[in-house]
Every structure is written in structure tokens, then in C-alpha cells.
Structure 1
Amino acid sequence: MNNKLIISVIYFGISIGQQWPYPTKTNTVFRNYLKIAFRNLARNKVYSFINIAGLSIGLACAMLILLYVKDEVSFDRFHQQVAHIYRIVQKGKDKGVEFDDSNTGYLQGPRFTKNVAGITSFVRVLSNSEDFKQGAEVESRDVLFVDSSFFSIFSFPLIEGDARTCLQEVRSVVLTAEMAKKQFGTTHAVGKTMMVRKDSVFVPYTVTAVTGNCPQNSTLQYKILMPLEVPEDERSDESWFNFSLNTFVVLDDKADAAKLSANMTNFYRQDAEAAYKSLLTKYAGIGFQLGSYYLQPMLDIHTSTRLPAQNGLQHRSSPMYSYILSGIALFVLLIACINFVNLTVARSVKRSKEIGIRKVVGGNRKQLIVQFLGESFLLCAIAFLLAVVLAMLVLPIFNQLANKELAIAYLLDVKLVVSYLVLFLVTSVLAGFYPALVLSGYNPVETLYRRFHLKGGNLLQKSLIVLQFTLASLLIVATLTIYAQFSFLTKTNLGYDDSNVVVVDKSRLSHEQATAFKNALLRYPGIVSASPKNSSHWTTAAKLESDSTIMFTYETVDDAFLPMMKIPVIQGRNFSAEYPSDSSRAVIVNESFVKQAGWKNPLGQTVNFFFHKKKYQVIGVVKDYHYLSLNQKIGPQLFTMTRDNDYGRMYIKIRPDAVTASLQFIRKTFHEWFPVSPYSYIFKNEEMLKDYETEARWKRIILFGAVLTIFISCIGMFGLSVLSAEKRTKEIGVRKVLGASVNSIVLMLSRDFVKLVLLSLLISFSASWFILNKWLENYPYRIALHGGIYAWAGISVLLIALLTVSFQAVKAAVAAPVKSLRTD
């Protein structure tokens, strides 16, 4: 410590001793504290940068996570009656297996509202798509079909129109402001018409209202609303057992949801009993049982892990996302605070003489605690301001990572601002309280005569370094594991060839249309093969000769589908035009179907579609392939060429050297054959990748967290290595004079840090093995944790730590020994 600093410290101590007792001098004392704090920050630029950078990153992470959590808990709270809105949910049992289903039929809403006391109103929500014509263009758009009570239950504000009557007329349509502007160029669209396909013709629908755009924190999302029409065949008691839409009910103020659920179930079992017995007689062996109903609060829908978001409900999340993101933010902030404590305590030896002088000239412990806490608050205040700027800059990236649409304006929410201030105060106290207590407790005689020894400080520093790198290592192992699992999901051979396969959707595609369209496509030399198929994957049930019932995925294809997709037929044969009966009596099944059916010789076995009173014979067995994503197990699958089912899409195999030209030809041919149908296409392999969007997002999030924790840990370790080298400067000079090599000095300065990093790896590897195995259990097809992942993680962490420490160690080792020996 130089003479100027000693003089200034003495003067500061004298001024404190003279001014502290007088309340009128409080402002002067505060200014002196502030001045000394700024001088310390300016004099120690490296440590100031490390602390401010670490804290600002940690605080920015915490701010963004608070923003995320606020958005999560705010879902649907804008509805005025949300505390009384519930969704009707079914609990059933099929072949002894219990299940929950959020779908209902058309009957549940009106029947329960009329017959169960406590329910005041209902609204049904059905998601579908309709073809809209504008000029010569036809576009398929998602539509929500809802009851006329929609706006009396949900609080979506109207810009134009009457909420009570806008959905009463059959041919009425309600648009959001965004859709109205897209369709008509203005939000003043009431009275205008839109052409909607009904059967084979387009008919006019009148815009009766325009609403504001759906809030992003709403589980109900729509751009177009149309009145829900109840089909005639859905009015009978048998429709108790049809499930295709969401039903919401509003309870009165005194209603108890649990008691109402029991009353709903009792009424349902009485009202549906006759229909249930009729179905059992008609479809013997159907295997389902009368279940029960319960009410799910609307506020629980967004984060439900048990029930899906479907039929107009979107943005389903999981509490796990909030937990993981909060954990990452806590890790980063904790590591930044650890850096602060570590560096402050490590630098305490250099400030010991300053503290000793202050105590000698009359400074008491309370004053020193206030000063050091003041320095902590100042540093945190600077970091906090930088964190706000950083959060605003990073928010677009954070939105991509978290799949959100959060705006910068959300950061200025009153509750969030209060949360940020609390976060600032807590961080300041946590980061500065322990160093203030330690530094203010030094004995002035020991510090002035260099007899000072920091009791327990070394152990604390080591413990905190181990904690830092344990957290960082844990995130690195998690990152590598998620990357490996994602790579496995996206690169595993699915059992078929989807390369250069284009899928074109066409609803209600008849067999005659499919054949004509296919033949037109095959005339182009860039198209190798084509095959129609039903849209998505249907699920149905059939009976076997043993009178048992089996559930399976039901596919309608033609004879070109299996060869085009290179799905191997391992027993029997494929469909063939040489056998006309294949289109009416033949089916092909997969290995899982055979296994579940218990067949030893599947060829010639009968599958009875009792719902349609038709029987089919098995002519072939295909090898199991992943027709769904690897997130789901392969189940029984059955292929048919029956003409009773329409197709819904065309699979087209194109030559890889003629992609652009082939796509242009496909589009042109589609419009020639279906001039009033919307055209869209997707490559089959890209369609499969959409099933892994969650894994892709978490891969990025965990990587982001790992990079941040490693960065903050490393800058903290760098600061400590600088201090370590400074404290041993004279020792290094002596060793060099006595012949020590640069390598030996670097090893000496790095050895203790490497030991701590190795200990942190041991702890993190043990914890991650348990945590990640639990996570992998969610996947039916998964990687196995192996030594390679841990080897890569360990090598990465060690290399990063060595590079961080070695930089300063080499700098100290190559310094001239004469300069080192002259250091005071």
C-alpha cells in the first residue's frame, strides 16, 4: 500500500471520528463513504469488472426469469369470471386402464347445466379448419366453432359488434383485429362478407363483430370464430360417448367444485345408462366402462401435465419449465454472489492495513460494516442498472429460447419493478454482509504489524469455488446429455425412408380423385413415386377371432405406399392390383399388432371391424417402424385399401436433383385438379422434426445456462488467481532466483485450483447421474448415460479452468525476479 493511500485513509479515519457523532454531518459522512467506495472501484478495475459483470449477468437472468414466471401465472386471469370457470373433464377406464380426457361431446354442456344445480351456463369450443375464398385464391384457415354464450363467459373485448348477438346467426363470423385487417384492410369490418366453402360451394358469411387480438397469455387462441352447429346425430343419448370438443361451465358463487363433480357423475350414470347398455349389446366386447366427470379450474389448464391443450387451447406449458429456468437463474446469481464474496475476502489481506489504521484513529466496527455494505450496495446498483439494459437487449433471444412473446414494456410492470428492487436489496445484502462482518472484525495491532491471519477464510473460498464449478459442471453434463438425446431422436433410423418425400394435404380426397391426381403427377420425370394416405394417424378398435378387442393405428393407403417408403414386408405380401379383393377384404399389420394379438401365424387371421360389420384377412406383416415420433412407443398398426375411407394427403417421392422443378410441377398440377382447394406442402422429414421442438428448445436453454455459469465461474477464478499470484509475488521471485522453471511455478499456482475443480466434478457427476436418469425415463427410446459424456464434460471444465488460471500463472512466472523481490 503506497504512502498516498495511507495518508488518505488516515485523513478519512480522522474525519469519520470527528464527524460521526453529529447528526448534522450525516450527509458529509455519506459523501465520504461514497467517495471512498468509488475510489476503491476505480483503483481495482479488474475486480470491479469481474464483480459488476458477474452480478449484472446474474441479475439480468433473474429479471428475465421473473418476467417468464409472471407471464406463466398470469395466464387467463384477464377473464372477469375466471375464478368460476371450469372445464368438464372425463375420467374413464378402458380394459382396466384408467385415463383422463379433456374432450367431451355435444351433450355434456347442456345436460349438466340443466340438471345439476350450481352450474349457471356453458360454452362449447370446437377447433376445425374451413376453406375461405378471396378473389381467385382459396386459403384454409383455423376456426373456433363456439356457442353464442362465448363472450358472456370469456372476457375478450369487442372493437365492433354486439357480444350478446354476434354469434346467434348461423352464417355469422367474428374476426380478430389482425384477421380483419388482413382480410379487409381495416378493423371496421362489421357487415362485410367472407366466402366460406360449405360442401362443394362457397357461401357468404357476414362479419358480425371484431374483437381485439387474443392476449398471448390466453390458453384460448383464435383469429376466427363461427357459431357451433350441433349435428342431428349428436343429439341422441349415445353421443354421451362421443368426444370431440372442450366444454366450459360457469359455477355460481356458492358452488363447491368437488361436490358438483360428484353430482355430475351421478346424473351422467343415470342419464347414460340405457345408451351404454345399448352400445354394449350392439358392439359386444367394446371394452369401455361408464366413467366419471370432474371439473378442472381454468387457471390450472395452462400448466396441466395430465391433460393436453387441444381444440382451440394453446400454449400449454409445464411447471417444470419454470422450475428449470428459475434454477438456472438462481445458479447464475448465486455464482455471481459467490464471486463477490470470494474476491472481497481474498482482497481483505490487502485492505487489512487500511482497516487497522481506521480502527486506531477511532473508527468502530459499526462504521466499518456500514462502509463495506455501502460499497456492496454501490457495486450492486451499478450492476443492477447494467442488468436492466442487458435484459432489454437479450429479451428477443430469451423469447426464442422460452417460446414466448414477451415485450420490453412488460419489464416496467409495477409488480415486476417491486420484485426487481427486492432482488437488488437481497443481492446487495447477501453479497456484502459476510465480507463486511469479516473485514470489520480485524484486530488493528495484528493487521498493522502483519500478524494478521484470516481464520477460516481459505476454507470458505475453497468451498465456494467447489460449489461454483459443481453447478457449472452439472449444467455442462445436462447440456451434453440433452444434445445426445436430441441427436438420437432426430438421427435414429426410423425404419423407413422419408428422404425427398413431399406431403401435400387434400381433405376428403376420394379414391377416384387420388388415382387421377397420382397418375398426373407420375407423368413428370422428376417424380419417382406417389401414394395417397389418410390424414394424420387414425385410431380405432376391432375384434379378433379370440373375441378380444384390440386398439390400433388405422392407415388407409394404396399399393405404392409401403414400397415408396421402403417399409419392409417380412411376412406375406404387399397390396397388389393383381388381387382385386385387396381393396375390400385385405389388411396388413405390423409386428406390434401381431405381438399384442398373440398370433403365432398371422397370415390368414381375421380382423373384425364390428363397428362397420366388416371382416378382413391379414395378407402381410410389416416390420415395426416409428410411424410416430420417438417420444412414443410403437403400437399396433393396420393398413387397408378399403374404399370406405377417403384419403387426406398425397405422399410424393421426388428426385433429389430436381427438387425446385418438381415442387413447381406439383403445385401447378394440384391447382389444375383442385382449383378451389388450398395448397400446402411439407417435406416428411421436416414434419417429424416438429415433434422434437421441445427438446430443441431445452437444448438451447440448458446450453445458454451452462455458458453463463462457466463464464461467471471462470472470471471469478481468474480474479482469485490474480490475487493468489499477487500474494505470492515475492515467493515467486525467490523461487526463480533459486532456479525454479516457469513450468514448475505455473504448476504450483494452478495445482490448488485444479484440485478444487476435480472435487466439484466428482460431486456434480454423482448428482447428475441421478437427475438425468430420471429425466431420460420420460422417453421410451433413449440414450444410456455413459462415460463418454462425463469424459467430455470433465475435460471441458478442466481445460476451461486451466486456461483461466494458467493465464495469470504464466504472467506471474515470467515476470522479472528483481521486480518481484522489490514488491511490498
Structure 2
Amino acid sequence: MIKNYLKIAWRNLVKNKVFTLANIVGLTSAFAVAILLAMTALFELSYDQFHENKGSAYQLYLSNQTPRGTEIGTSNPVPLAPALGTEVSGIKSIARSSSEDVLVIYNNKELNLDAEYVDPSFFEIFTYPTITGDSNNPIPEKNTVSITVEAAQKMFGTSENVVGKTISLKIRREEHPFIIASILKNIPANSSVDFEIVIPFENHPDYLSNIDAWDNMFHAVYLQLENGVTPEQFEENTIAFTELHYEGSIESDIRDGAVPDANGKYKQFHLMPIGNMHFASYRSGVAVVNRIFPYLILGIALVIIFIVSANFINMNIALSENRLKEIGMRKTLGAIKRQLFIQFWLESIFVFATSIIAGLVVANLLLKPFKTLFRTKATFADVTQPSVLILFAMIVFCITLVAGGYPALLMSKLSTLKALKGKLDLGKNRLRNSLIVLQFTIAIILISGTLVLHGQIEFMRNKDLGYNKDQVVSIPLNGKKDSYRVVELLRNELKGNPDILSVSGADNNLGMGRDGSLSSSAMGFDYKGKGVVTNALTVDYDYAKTLDLELVAGRMFSRDFATDSLGLVINEAMAKQLGEEDPLSVKIPMDDGTTFSVIGVVKDYNFQEVSRAIQPLTLFMNNDWDLYYAYVKIAPSNITNSFEAIEKAWGKIEPQAEFLGSFLDENVDRTFRREKTMATIVTSGSVLGILLSCIGLFAISMLVVAQRTKEIGVRKVIGASVSSVALLLTKDFLKLVGIAFVIATPIAWYFLNEWLQNYASRVALSPLFFLGAGLLAVFIAFVTVGTRTIKAASANPVKSLRTE
């Protein structure tokens, strides 16, 4: 019996080659894309899930009630972790951690590695296994380090026989010898904490100077709670601790007008589960765990599967009319509903199985370019988990059940006589129309999202950031020499080049450079009895000249003034915070007794991510603080040669250090890389969704035209034009697209408006975005259906009226 079913299924699929091919191509494309998207989404959702203690391990953060509102910080002072571990109950392990790049030197070979300064208890909280060395304590002594297999291969060419070797680390301006105590497995790609070398926290350059300082915060704190202790209990236990150690800060905030939180507290410690760290955001004074990106990707994958499945169901319904005589004959010979159902179901399973196999092959072929395009480290292992495979099998089972069972159900209800006559009235089929509306609702939402996403990206890309991002190259100072010396050598080396306009330096980059760094420094002080918080930036001479910053008042740092090391240049936001009519009269006493004077005010510029509002900024020029980036401004006339000249000069100055120079516009683009990836995914989903929807619409139009063949013939005989007949056949489909537009627009507007709230500067959510999406959907639907209806309307009416 099964053999007979398979034989009939094969004959029917071969007989309807066009529909079979359309189904297989559509399903194959959908499965291939859905597999790749699901792989990416599941990889994102797997971040930090490999840690054995993920159920009891947390990152510490502090909510502060300040005169500016609620602020949240994950940076902590050096004495916090030891005091917290001693004075607060419920903590099993606690560790400090600070990320910085470090220059490693071995046998005249220099290599910049991602470093993590940590306490030994860091490895009690996190799961980073060792290959060689003490697995319980990979860094047993202050002068020992642990490196990953990848770092060992970079430095020594092998990871074997490396333990015990001595290397030098350049920490700030000094070199220190360290012994390699252990080799760690490479850090998983789905780890929020990423490093190549681990250094004991006591070696951090800011450790000794801040060992008792509670007002200098620069590192993260992680902890593991004891069994049975909840985060709420821990937070309750820290109230007295916070009021004791932050008493002075709380009093200053109260003095300046801070309002307590709902519990009457001004400072409160909270815990973020390490499984949520990758998705955590602390903007606007609220800790938010946001998994929109992976869920959006997963949603698009499911939407694509839904659209192609709806097409498959609709095509099966469309094809069922051609098999009415076959069904009538089989019913006459005694076929029952179950046999009809099995027949149709087997055909559906055959098409799906073929498409799944082809989809896997296509996904594998597209894997490498897909990973490059979307910058993901996901692998097929992310979608071959048993739970994922079981869910996918259930989805396929349900779809094939509907696709095969629904037409069988319709035809099994027909009388044998109607079936033999080929009468199947599906003109008012609610399922068919509902699926079309849903398909185009989804398509219009995706198109709207595509238009708004690209609009926001272009808005950020073209926004006036307040500095020259097109002609300035930033270079990480990752070499062995003193940073100020390197900047001066660059000036001298490039001085004779007419295309090099100026050279400067700073301790932070603008945007995200090729080294992947994106950071800022903040500081606070009292001014006239009021607390002031500002971002701090150390710069070299010609900083404003190099970046084309606009000076609002006063002057920039100058070589003509020896006292400029005690001078400050502030931005407009900082001047507003100080509240003085004449900012140049401001003198700020620091805790060490030094007094700084404001010598200039620059116009506000985006020194942080473009998505953030411009905050107060203070520029210092103090040679005791290192520079980390050089800036070179070049003439616009000869950009390629100028960049090559800079790279050549760098090779002379730092021959052992890698040149990682990049233009600032590239750096800015990297800061919204996530938005660009999201836009690419949504755009791809929109295109594929529209194409798949059109395949289904084309199939339905064929069904409707076939049902109304005689009506078309009669209308043409009595004088109807081709255009009127085509419009008559098309308008019903356009009505469905119109309904989809009405449903999709408010949904798209709501979600896109919510998403845009994440940006301080954002594109206006114009009705044109949604109108454009709707018109595009209508046009595509009209072209898809129109090609078929015009052909039918142009046919000879004699053929249409011929009886069978």
C-alpha cells in the first residue's frame, strides 16, 4: 500500500513540474536562510551559558540617586571587593576584574594581547579550564600570568613546553618580568569576558595608588553567592555596608538635591546574572536585559518558514482542483478519507524532505560568506542541539499535516459526482485569504523596518559630529616607546609632507578603532559646594586643530604657555553644568591641593557613541598621564598616498608594533555595527519574504483564473476589454494587500518607535516610511498577479467557453 502511495505521489509531483519546482526552490531557500539565521540567534542566546556556576554567579552594579537623576555604574573602587567579602554575608567567592591591552615582549618579539587583571578567585566563579598548570589557581603568585593556547601560539609558535618561561609585560611606561604559570583553553566565542592573558590584579597600574580610595572606580566586580542565598537577600545585606562606606558621597548627593529611590535609599547594590551580562544595558538609570537582536533574528527565521509554508499550503490547494477526477474515481472505487489524507500527506513529506536536505547543502555553501557578512562566530553546532531538532521536527510535522491534510479534507467532503465533474468552489476560502493577508502583513512590517533602519543608519552616518571624521586617521599607540615620544616622532617624520596637516594625540579614541577599543573616563569633584561629574580626556598639543573642533571661548593648549599643564579646556555641556556666566573665570581645586583653571571652551562634539547624548567633557594636558592614540589630519586631495605615508612613518618609529590606523569615519561606523547587521538581516528577510509571498500569490492567481475561465470568456464575448477583465481578477488580491497594510502599519510604527527611543538623536518616524512600504507591497502584488490575469484576459474566449 505504501509503495502504491509513493508511486502515485511521485507521478503527481512529476506531472506538475512547475509547482513542484516552485515549492522545492521556495522551501529550499527558506530552510537554508532560516538555518543560518537560527544558528546566529541561538549562538547569541548562548552567551555565558557555559559557566558551571551561572545559576549563582553575578556581576555587581550600583544604582546611585544623584542630582542628575538615577545613574548606574559597573565600575568599582579597589577596596570594595575585599571589604564586601569580609563584611557582607552570603558571598562564596568575589573577584575584581579589569580589561586592558598589554604589550608582551619575548626575545625582541612584541605582541599586543587582550589582558584581564583578575583576583585568583576569578577562576572559582567563571569556568575557564586550564590545559597545563594548576586548574584551581592558574595565577598562584603575583609575578605569574596565564595565557591561552592561541596567545601561546602567537608568541612562541606552540602551546607546548611554555609553562615556566619568562616574558616581559609593558604596564604603562615600565616593563616587568612575569613567569607563565599555566595555559588556558581558548576562550569560547560566546563569552562576554574575552582575554588572551590573565594577570594578577595587584599588578594593575592603578592598584597601589588606589588601594584605599573609594572615589576612584575603574574595574568590574564579580561574585558567587552561597547556596540558598538569593540576590534579594544579598542586596538587603549590603544596605548597612553601603551607608557606611559611601557616607560622604551620599551626603554630597543629598546636599546637591538628590531624591531617594522608592525604598528611601540613595545608593543600592544590585546583581546582574552573568548569563544576562551580554544583553545588559545601564542607560538612563535603569538596568535592562535586552535580547531583541537574537529574538528578532529568530523571529525573521520563523517568519520566513511561515511564509513558505503558507505558500506550500496554498499551492497544494491550488493543485487539488486538477486532481478532482482522480479523487472522484478513487472514491467511486471505495477510497476512504484516511487513504486520501495519507496520499496527500506523503506528497507533502516528500517535498519537505527533499527541500530540507537541499536547504542544508545550500546553508553549508553559504556558511562562510554569511559569517563574514554578519560578523558572527556561530556554527552548525548551535542548531544541532536535541531540543532544537525536536522543535524543528514538530514544526515540519504540523506543516505537512496541514498542507497534506487540508486539501484532502476539502475533497473528502465533496460528493463523488461533484468530484468527477471537477467542481471545487474555493472562491471564498477563508484560510487562503487569511494566509495571504498574514504574509503581506509580515512583508510590509519587514519593509517598514528596513526603511527605518537604513534611515537611522544614514542619519547617524551623516550627522554632524562636531569634528572632522573624513580627513583624520587615528592610530593606537601599541608599541614599546613612550606615547608622547611617538606622537612627537610622528610629527617630525611627517613634517615635510605637504599632505599632512597636523598631528596630535589623546588617551581615548573617537569611535571604535581597529583595536576594538571603545572606552571613556569619568571623574567627579566639588565646585562651590556642588558635586560635578565630567568625562575626562588627556590630549596633546594641536588636538583641536587636528580634529577641527570649534572654539567657543578662550584658547586651546599652547606651547607658548608653560602653565597649561594646570589648564583645562571644557565643552559647552560642562560649562553649562558649572553654571558660570564666564566659564574662563572658573578655578577648580583638586583633592591633592592642585588648582586647575579653565582656559577654553569648545563646542559640543560627539566624543562617545553617536547614539548617546553629549555629556560634560574636560580636556587635560598632563604628561604624567599616557596617550593611547595618535591623530593625523591629512589633506583631502591625496588620501591614499597620505595614508601610506603615515603607515611608512609608523614602521620607522615602531617597527615591532602592528599598524592599526583607520579613518575616524570608519571608527564611527563600527560603533553602530550592530544596527548595520540588524538592517542587513531585516532587509534580507524582507526581500526573501516578498519573493516567497509572490510565489504563493502567483499560485493562488492561477487557481482563481482557472476557476473563472468561463466567466472570463462570457465577459469578453459581451464586449469587456482586456484591462477591465484583468482589473476584475486583480482587485480581490489588492484588497487583501490593502487589509494587510492597515494591519501592519500600526504594529510597525509601535515597535519601530520603541526601538528609536534608544537613540538620543534619531530620524523622524515619517509616515512616508510606511506609505512607501505599502505602495511597494501593492506594486509587487499587482505585478505578480497582473502577469497571470492579463494573460488569461487576452486568451481566445472560444477556448474559455469550450466545454470539456
TM > 0.5 between the two?
A: yes
1:448 Cα offset (Å): 3.5
Aligned partner (choices 379, 398, 403) of residue 351 of structure 2:
379
1:567 to 549, 554, 565: 549
SS in 1 for 2:630: strand
**Residues 770 and 115 from structure 1, CA distance in 2 versus in 1: closer, same or farther, beyond 3 angstroms?**
closer
Of the three residues 413, 419, 439, the one matched with 1:441 is: 413
Deviation (angstroms), 1:734 = 4.7
Which one of the candidate residues 161, 171, 189 is aligned to 1:216?
189
- Aligned-pair distance for 1:587? 3.7
* C-alpha separation in 2, matches of 1:212 and 1:742: 72
Q: What is the letter of the counterpart of residue 471 of structure 1?
A: I
Q: CA shift at 1:696, angstroms?
A: 0.6
Could you tell me how far 1:694 is from its partner in structure 2?
A: 1.1
Counterpart in the other structure of 1:552:
534
Aligned to 1:36: 8
Equivalent-residue separation in structure 1 for 2:644 and 2:299 (angstroms): 49
Residue matched to 1:168: 140
Equivalent residue in structure 2 for 1:688, among 644, 648, 668: 668
Alignment correspondent of 2:227: 253
Match of residue 689, structure 2, among 709, 713, 716: 709
Structure 2 counterpart of 1:250, one-letter code:
Q
SS of match in other structure, 1:301: helix
Larger C-alpha radius of gyration, 1 or 2?
Answer: 1
Flag the 1:241–1:85 CA change in 2: closer, same or farther, 3 A. Answer: same
Q: What pairs up with 1:533-612 in 2 under 5 angstroms?
A: 533-536=506-509, 537-545=520-528, 547-557=529-539, 560-576=542-558, 581=563, 583-584=564-565, 586-599=567-580, 601-612=581-592
Deviations 1:624-675 (A, max 9, x none): 3323332011222334445665443332112234445444543454465567
User: Structure 1 residues 604, 767: CA separation in 2 closer, same or farther (over 3 Å shift)?
Assistant: same
Following superposition, the deviation at residue 76 of structure 1 comes to 3.0
Distance (whole Å) between structure 2 residues aligned to residue 220 and residue 396 of structure 1: 25
Deviation at 1:486, TM superposition (A): 0.5
Query: Could you say which residue in structure 2 is the equivalent of 1:293?
Result: 269
Q: Distance in 2 between matches of 1:156 and 1:169?
A: 18
Q: Is the 8 A contact 1:555 1:637 kept in 2?
A: yes
- Residue 472 of structure 1 aligns to a residue in which SS? helix
Mapped contact 1:196–1:205 kept (Cα < 8 A): yes
- Structure 2, unaligned runs of 5 or more: 260-264, 510-519
Query: 1:105 and 1:354 mapped to 2: Cα distance?
Result: 81
- Please point out which of 729, 739, 743 is paired with 2:709: 729
Preserved CA contact (<8 Å) 1:63 1:420: no
Which of the numbers 432, 436, 456 marks the counterpart of 1:461?
Answer: 432
Contact (CA 8 Å) 1:509, 1:649: kept in 2 or not? no
Shift of 1:740: 4.7
Does residue 97 of structure 2 align to residue 125 of structure 1? yes
SS state at 2:72 partner: strand
Match of 1:322 in 2: 294
Query: Residue type matched to 1:467 in 2?
Result: L
Separation in structure 2 between the aligned mates of residue 322 and residue 510 of structure 1, nearest angstrom = 41
Shift of 1:701: 0.7
Structure 2: distance between partners of 1:119 and 1:789: 52
Q: 1:190 aligns with which of 159, 163, 185?
A: 163
1:331 equivalent to 2:303? Answer yes
Describe the SS at the equivalent of 1:541: strand
Q: How does 1:328-367 map to 2 (within 5 A)?
A: 328-367=300-339
> Which residue number corresponds to residue 699 of structure 1?
679
1:754 aligned onto 2:754:
no
- Matched residue, 1:4: none
On the 8 A contact 2:252/2:531 being kept in 1, the answer is no
1:489 corresponds, among 439, 453, 460, to 460
Match of residue 229 from structure 1? 202
Q: How much has 1:90 moved relative to structure 2?
A: 2.3
TM-superposed CA distance for 1:683, in Å, is 1.5
Provide Cα deviations, 1:426-455, integer angstroms capped at 9, x if missing partner.
Answer: 222243343332222112233335665448
Asked whether the 8 Å contact 2:321–2:422 carries over to 1, the reply is: no
Q: TM-score normalized by structure 1?
A: 0.86
Offset, 1:416: 3.1
- The CA distance in 2 between the partners of 1:674 and 1:376, in whole Å, is 65
Which residue identity is paired with 2:531? Answer: T
What secondary structure, in the 3-state scheme, does the structure 2 residue paired with 1:245 have? strand
Cα gap change, 1:421 to 1:137, in 2 (>3 Å): same
Task: Name the structure 2 match of 1:8.
Answer: none
Residues 204-242 of structure 1: CA deviation (Å, up to 9, x unaligned): 433222222112222232221222216796598843444
- Provide TM-score, normalisation by structure 2: 0.88
- Given that 2:210 and 2:216 are in contact with CA atoms closer than 8 Å, whether structure 1 keeps it comes out as no
Structure 1: where are the runs of 5+ without partners?
1-27, 309-315
Residue 689 (structure 1) shift: 1.3
Match of 1:506 in 2: 477
Counterpart CA distance in 2 for 1:279 and 1:360 is 89
SS of 1:229's partner is: helix
Q: Return the offset for 1:586.
A: 4.5
Of 82, 104, 114 in structure 1, the residue corresponding to residue 76 of structure 2 is: 104
Letter in 2 for 1:292: Q
Aligned to 1:393: 365
CA distance in 2, matches of 1:782, 1:482: 11
Aligned partner letter, 2:417: V
The whole-number CA distance in structure 2 between the counterparts of 1:620 and 1:250 is: 48
> What CA distance in whole angstroms lies between the structure 2 residues aligned with 1:253 and 1:631?
41
Tell me the distance in 1 between the aligned counterparts of 2:368 and 2:568.
Answer: 51
Write the letter of the residue equivalent to 1:31. Answer: K
How far apart in 2 are the matches of 1:410 and 1:364? 44
CA contact (8 A) 1:503 1:684 kept: yes
* Cα separation, partners in 2 of 1:670 and 1:370, compared to 1, 3 Å: closer
Aligned length: 782
Matches of 2:175 and 2:207, distance apart in 1: 24
| More displaced stretch, 409-418 vs 771-780 | 409-418
Contact 1:380 1:427 in 2 (8 A): no
Give the distance between the partners of 1:694 and 1:534, measured in 2 at CA. Answer: 25
Q: Which moved more, 1:755-764 or 1:777-786?
A: 755-764
Hey, what does 2:515 align to over in structure 1?
A: none
Alignment-mate amino acid for residue 680 of structure 1:
L
1:692-751, Cα deviation, whole Å (9 max, x unpaired): 111111110100110111011001111112223333334444555555544444333323
Cα 1:794–1:607 change in 2 (3 A) is farther
| Structure 1 pair 441–742 and aligned structure 2 pair: CA distance change class (3 A) | same
Does structure 1 retain, via aligned residues, the 8 Å contact 2:250–2:266?
no
Query: Residue type of the partner of 2:398?
Result: V
Distance in 2 (CA, whole Å) between partners of 1:152 and 1:620 is 50
Distance, in Å, in 2 between the alignment partners of 1:109 and 1:131 is 27
CA distance change for structure 1 residues 70 and 672 in 2, over 3 Å: closer, same or farther?
closer
Give the counterpart of 1:526 among 462, 480, 499.
499
Q: Which amino acid aligns with 1:253?
A: N
Q: Does 1:302 align with 2:278?
A: yes
Q: What code does the residue aligned with 1:539 have?
A: A
SS in 1 for 2:183: strand
Residues 539 and 553 of structure 1 are in contact (CA less than 8 Å); yes or no, is this contact kept in structure 2?
yes
Which residue, 624, 634, 652 being the options, matches 2:604? 624
Instruction: Identify if the C-alpha distance between structure 1 residues 671 and 652 changes in structure 2 by more than 3 Å, giving closer, same or farther.
Output: same
One-letter code of the match for 1:530? V
How is 1:279-290 mapped onto 2 (pairs within 5 angstroms)?
A: none
TM-superposed deviation, 1:376: 2.9
- 1:571 and 1:269 map into 2 onto residues whose CA distance is 42
1: CA distance, partners of 2:731 / 2:82: 75
Partner of 1:138: 110
Q: Is the 8 A contact 2:337 2:408 kept in 1?
A: no
